[in-house]
Chain A
């Protein structure tokens, strides 16, 4: 696996260039060890990792709400500490928790966000964003009267209010129903088409699989993998051929011992695992062999391992492939 070197200078091409970022909280807990990561312009980057891995800490450091203990971050070449104005003006953050006000109106709170980020008022932009997030009808409602899903969308509206180049979504679909999740995915894709770079964290692997261009896996404060989603799936993905048998077997016949076969508990399913990368997968031989042995099957299908399998595997092995 390619591991960026801490000594490499910040990348010129990257939208966000993270070098040697470490964080030890006042409690003494080391949440991040030394993170190096480059985010490419216009991509959707999914950051995966178990609870407490350090995803939120990393995001909050880039966005300026947590001070790093070591390291540097550049946003389009602007250092987040020295040039914090230019750096932050390009970033929108949707926090993990539903941190909204209470008494102000939806409209007022989005207007506030835009002003805070140094942009002049723009009723047209405000309307566009509220419509995009299906909040236009709620614009005069008090924030505390919104449902959880609406609050989540409000936070996104606030983050988009100043038209950022980079959007951080920290678990945007936590506690969001299926339909709304689809909407959110569609919205994220739409933003990407507008040229916004998106970094999201999620616990739903299918979400990363569905959305991301690249995936980073973080565990115990260390990035263990950064890879194109497709490459990750190809590289780590195993394929399986599943055969549903006509009559059950008690054991895998000894003639087939040379194939990596598994027999299900009921004896009706044979599972053959092979490497999707290999040129020759021996399926024809296996099928011929089965025919010779008189083992009939009524159905066969192949499946790829999901990111979930890959992810569980990665965490278990600490990133070694």
Chain B
């Protein structure tokens, strides 16, 4: 195991986040704060409580997931795409490092950044609303698993993309809508049929529901189903990465 190699990639990627602090940390926190102001304070004050939770508190888990998903994907995809784009990837390809170790370095760094970001968003939310975390262990478990899974997913996108448009298209066209319709701002049972049933095909619903359960003990779907789904996505992403690397990983010719 080339531990020094993993460490080098990890630290390099973390250093990149420091260099782009405004983009990687400040901007997600700012946008989450804006959501709190608009939905939590302004609109939320006119909304009734959902499942006995004030609207401002209700949207916290969903908002956190929103940032977590998009930041994990964009961090990890950019991390691997950029050296591909500039050609500096040659160094990684010529190094005595395995595909697994490369993934650990890049995805580990992206997931770490996401988790740090998640913690900062939680702290920021505290400035706007009071909330409690009913099941801290599960909250951390969902946070970690989601960060890792979507960082892996971002890594796959970064490997697959061969231009900037492809890099953006999945986060914008697929992930964004799924997250918005994933119950970040409402409870699924507030939807009329058939939307309620259709929503159950949206994987993000399971993430947000499970995450919200870890905060308030209420959920749209059974928490074990949620947890199972997260693990399932993780597994699918792992399979995809393994497959990509086995086929020359779109990096070598």
Contact: A89 with B91, CB < 8 Å?
no
Task: Report the Cα distance A85→B96, complex, angstroms.
Answer: 4
Q: Which of B94-147 contact A (CB under 8 A)?
A: 94-98
Residue of B nearest to A100 (CB): B88
Task: Report the Cα distance A9→B91, complex, angstroms.
Answer: 30
B9 at the interface (CB under 8 A from A): yes
Contact: A116 with B92, CB < 8 Å?
yes
Q: Provided the pairs A63-B94, A64-B94, A65-B93 are in contact, do residues A116 and B88 lie with their beta carbons within 8 angstroms? A: no
Residues on A with beta carbons closer than 8 Å to the beta carbon of B98: 85
Contact: A91 with B97, CB < 8 Å?
no
Chain B contact residues, majority secondary structure = helix
Residue of A nearest to B12 (CB): A112
Residues on A with beta carbons closer than 8 Å to the beta carbon of B248: 67
Task: Report the Cα distance A113→B2, complex, angstroms.
Answer: 13
Q: List the count of A-B residue pairs having beta carbons below 8 Å apart.
A: 86
CB of A166, distance to nearest CB on chain B (Å): 12
Contact: A65 with B2, CB < 8 Å?
no
**Which of the residues B2, B93, B253 comes within 8 Å of A85, measured between beta carbons?**
B2
Residues on B with beta carbons closer than 8 Å to the beta carbon of A119: 4
Interface 1/0s, chain A 64-99, versus B by CB < 8 A? Answer: 111100000000000000001111110101010101
Task: Report the Cα distance A267→B134, complex, angstroms.
Answer: 104
Contact: A65 with B8, CB < 8 Å?
no
CB of A35, distance to nearest CB on chain B (Å): 17
Task: Report the Cα distance A115→B95, complex, angstroms.
Answer: 10
Task: Report the Cα distance A288→B203, complex, angstroms.
Answer: 99
Contact: B7 with A115, CB < 8 Å?
yes
Contact: A99 with B93, CB < 8 Å?
no
Segment among A102-110, A237-245, A246-254 that sits at the interface with chain B: A102-110
Contact: A88 with B94, CB < 8 Å?
yes
Task: Report the Cα distance A89→B95, complex, angstroms.
Answer: 7
Kindly list the 10 A-B residue pairs having the minimum CB-CB distance in the complex, ordered from nearest: A115-B8, A99-B87, A85-B96, A88-B96, A116-B95, A63-B94, A65-B93, A118-B2, A89-B96, A115-B4
